[in-house]
Chains A and B, each alone.
Chain A
Amino acid sequence: MSVSLRSMAKDQKGVVVSVNVRGELGRRIRDMGLIPGTEFRIVGRAPLKDPVALRMKGFTITLRNNEADFITVKVEE
């Protein structure tokens, strides 16, 4: 089942299905290596629940919830 990255809970793992945004934001996300097929794990959220931090391919990236909205993921059970 594919959901938005925003809805994922801490410590959940997932795989990126698609990145549905172009322009600067889309490019930044892709430059970071967050492209379809990427496995990641939610490592935490900032004290006010936003932004969110993901661990993937040997590093950690953060993005805001409204940016995570553009990323569709398949959650691993």
Chain B
Amino acid sequence: MSDNFFVAVSGQPNCGKSTMFNALTGSTARVGNYPGITVDRTEGYYTNDGVSVHLVDLPGTYSLTSYSMEEVVARNVIVDEKPDVVINMLDATSLERSLYLAVQFMEIGVPVVLGLNMMDEVKKKGIRIDAQKLSKLIGVPVIECVARRGIGKDELMAAVQQVADKTKGKWTPVNISYGHDLDPAIDEMSALIKENEFMTDRYDPHWLAVKYLEEDEIVIKNGRESGPLYGQLEAIVKRVSEHVNKTLNTYPEAILADYRYGFINSILKQGVISREDNLRFDSSDKIDKVLTHKFMGPLIMFGVMYAMFYITFTFGAYPQGWVENGFGWISSTIGSLLPDGLLKSMLVSGVIDGVGAVMGFTPLILIMFAMLVFLEDLGYMARVAYMVDRVFRMFGLHGMSIMPFIMAGGLPGGCAVPGVMTCRTLRSPKERIATILTAPFMICGAKATAYIMLVGAFYPESATSVMFFLVLISWGLALCVGRLLRWTALKGESTPFVMELPPYRIPTLHGVAIHTWDRVWQYIKKAGTVILAISILMWALMTFPQLPPERVQAYDAQRTAVTAQSQNWDGSGEQKTTKLDEMISRINYSEGEEALKTSYAGRMSDFISPVTNLAGFPWQANISFIGAFAAKEVFVSTMSTAYSLGDEDPDNAATLSSKIAADPAWSPAVVWSVFIFMMVYVPCMVTVAVIIRETNWKWGLFSVFGSLGFGYALSVLIYQFGTLLGY
């Protein structure tokens, strides 16, 4: 037997599985994704005494059915990758339910080692578990563990090696009796399956028969593609199902579950476990009395969210500044080394500034994820979902959807990038995608600067209330569009809320650090590459085609002329220089404006103006919206360029505001049309990259074009009705 095994680590959620996985693999753990889906695939190595074991961490599941992505993944790894051994971690404080998964592994036939985790808590609760007896009765090694302190990890691996040596890759499925109604049907079906070699290359016949009775969607679907036997099998299932429905008023799948639990109970009752009244209070219940209290609960929740938000954006601003300064330094260094020209322009404006803008978010994501992972591991996130589920359900979303909304700018100043990434805490695909698509409507920090500029221009008297109103609109739009999506593109039943409220447990620093870093690293890697491509594209759109040489010469001539004239101006030398600078920068801006209008972006703006005219956008806003796809901050800087202010500082919103306020093109109808379009039209490219990464290209494109269409429709309505009403 070689010393290199392939071992899968599995367990129910909150059983300490990942903690044990981290203890076993140390710093070798690496996260990837299962192809095409967002379930994390963590892998690592355990080495000790010349033994090297390749471990894969299966997603936490309560069972091995085919409803959730996690369950399907866990099952497919077992069936397709055939690990030598599965380590099944159990939460010993709820042994009966924990063994439910173990029994299902044993039914598939994969060799199992049980890790009885949280033995310290069990002892504290006065519960006694006889691990040896359990091991004897169930027929697999049982190791007592305390994963948080790494206790039991070497014993686990020793047991793994023993089991692997003994089984030598041979699987022996355990057949549980499912009673006189189901057993004959199972026997009949497995005989047929064996005879016809129906999917036997992948599955054990008995297990396959059981899955048919459970009406497992994936097995039934694969069966239909595998051969004619499926008709016979489905007929048997139908017959049995009708029979038990008539005689027992139940379903085969319920009987299967009952017998599995019966099997578990018959083992536990043979002196494996003795405990006190298990419905008694424990400390988690006491904490919940406060944290989920009718009035206190929501208050504390808002407090926690506000604190997270505050910490992320206040403390994150410093490292974000360092990263941005770092990129600024690189940018200026390269700028001074390279001669002026297209290469320099592309490297500086396209590559470094584009990628730098993305990397600037890394500290925010790191801080936010660290806190989020902490709260999740602590068990608080489940309580938040529990408290707000009722409200969010009305809009077709899930209780867990609240965090992404807050992070994306539900309190203005957030950012859709971490917001969308927070959606990973949502387990149900439809509600998750609905949340991912609507969270970018929130007023993120970049949009906030544009709003501050515009609100300052048009509503200087009541800026605060208008801002507040805009925030309310963003929530309303996000929730209503969520509702709309769940009625249309993401139609379907809401996912069951049957969810565990795990006991509060202080997470390990190591676990939080690993999880946080993995997510941040994925962000840097994947978002970084997409961003690089898009920012070069945006740069090209705004640079090409360049001004014809005679125009450039004309501007050069103007500058030379002004410089020459300045000799003859009145006033002191200092006054002359100031005036000259002013004139030159005015010429520069004219050149910039003309270049912008000549570029593809400018032509696009011209080209689309017949369409955008329906929504009343001034041409400056038009072109700014195109640029703002790269990053919403660009809206303000492009507006400032477009308004040709002799002001070098695009952050100086006040001057820009007064200039815009003076422009008669901005009627109230136009203002609100632009406001709403800005809120909805497309997520910035970083967000789109993250949406693609978290879902797929299809949803990324839907997000871009869906929001664009929706925002446009709203703006046209506002502008047309507004104008009609005389605003």
Measured CB to CB, the nearest residue on chain A to B127 is A58
| A57 near B97: Cβ-Cβ < 8 Å | yes
| B93 near A47: Cβ-Cβ < 8 Å | no
B3 interfacial contact with A, CB 8 Å: no
A51 with B254, Cβ < 8 A, contacts A27-B67, A46-B390 known: no
A13 interfacial contact with B, CB 8 Å: yes
Measured CB to CB, the nearest residue on chain A to B125 is A58
Which of B65, B279, B289, B389 interacts with A50 by CB under 8 Å?
A: B389
Measured CB to CB, the nearest residue on chain B to A39 is B279
- Other A-B contacts than A32-B498, A50-B389, 5 sampled, CB-CB below 8 A, are A22-B251, A27-B65, A32-B500, A33-B100, A58-B95
| B97 near A59: Cβ-Cβ < 8 Å | yes
Contacts of A34 in B (CB 8 A): 498
| A58 near B389: Cβ-Cβ < 8 Å | no
Contacts of A19 in B (CB 8 A): 254
| A67 near B496: Cβ-Cβ < 8 Å | yes
Stretch with Cβ within 8 A of A (4 or more), from B49-57, B182-190, B292-300, B464-472? B292-300
Shortest CB distance A75–B (Å) = 14
Interface range on chain B (Cβ under 8 Å from partner):
35 or more
Main secondary structure of the interface of A (DSSP, over half): mixed
- Residues 370-398 of B, flagged 1 when their CB comes within 8 A of A and 0 if not, give 00000000000010001101110100000
CA distance A61 to B284 in the complex (A): 13
| A47 near B100: Cβ-Cβ < 8 Å | no
Which of A29, A43, A48 interacts with B391 by CB under 8 Å?
A: A48
Which of B254, B295, B497 interacts with A63 by CB under 8 Å?
A: B497
25 A-B residue pairs with CB within 8 Å: A22-B215, A24-B67, A25-B498, A26-B251, A26-B254, A27-B65, A27-B67, A30-B254, A31-B62, A32-B62, A40-B279, A46-B386, A46-B389, A49-B390, A53-B292, A55-B279, A57-B94, A60-B288, A60-B501, A60-B502, A61-B498, A62-B501, A63-B496, A64-B497, A67-B497
| B93 near A58: Cβ-Cβ < 8 Å | yes
| B500 near A59: Cβ-Cβ < 8 Å | yes
CA distance A3 to B344 in the complex (A): 76
A13 with B390, Cβ < 8 A, contacts A25-B496, A26-B253, A33-B100 known: no
| A31 near B389: Cβ-Cβ < 8 Å | no
Which of B67, B214, B249 interacts with A28 by CB under 8 Å?
A: B67
**A1-53 interface (Cβ within 8 A of B):** 13, 18-19, 22, 24-36, 39-41, 43-44, 46-51, 53
| A33 near B279: Cβ-Cβ < 8 Å | no
Contacts of B253 in A (CB 8 A): 22, 26-27, 30
CA distance A67 to B285 in the complex (A): 23
| B497 near A22: Cβ-Cβ < 8 Å | no
- Residues 488-514 of B, flagged 1 when their CB comes within 8 A of A and 0 if not, give 000000011111111100000000000
| A59 near B251: Cβ-Cβ < 8 Å | no
CA distance A55 to B193 in the complex (A): 42
B257 interfacial contact with A, CB 8 Å: yes
| A64 near B393: Cβ-Cβ < 8 Å | yes
A22 with B254, Cβ < 8 A, contacts A47-B298, A48-B391, A60-B501 known: yes
**B87-111 interface (Cβ within 8 A of A):** 91, 93-97, 100
Contacts of B386 in A (CB 8 A): 46, 51, 53, 62
Contacts of A44 in B (CB 8 A): 288-289, 292
- Residues 291-327 of B, flagged 1 when their CB comes within 8 A of A and 0 if not, give 0111101100000000000000000000000000000
Contacts of A32 in B (CB 8 A): 62, 97, 498, 500
| A61 near B499: Cβ-Cβ < 8 Å | yes
B247 interfacial contact with A, CB 8 Å: no
Measured CB to CB, the nearest residue on chain B to A49 is B390
CA distance A18 to B288 in the complex (A): 28
A43 with B288, Cβ < 8 A, contacts A51-B497, A59-B97 known: yes
| B250 near A46: Cβ-Cβ < 8 Å | no
| B67 near A62: Cβ-Cβ < 8 Å | no
B63 interfacial contact with A, CB 8 Å: yes
| B94 near A47: Cβ-Cβ < 8 Å | no
Shortest CB distance A17–B (Å) = 11
Shortest CB distance A51–B (Å) = 6
Measured CB to CB, the nearest residue on chain B to A53 is B501
Measured CB to CB, the nearest residue on chain A to B104 is A31
| B65 near A60: Cβ-Cβ < 8 Å | no
B278 interfacial contact with A, CB 8 Å: yes
| A57 near B96: Cβ-Cβ < 8 Å | yes
Contacts of A48 in B (CB 8 A): 390-391
A63 with B93, Cβ < 8 A, contacts A30-B254, A35-B258 known: no
| A58 near B298: Cβ-Cβ < 8 Å | no
B261 interfacial contact with A, CB 8 Å: yes
Contacts of A51 in B (CB 8 A): 386, 389-390, 497
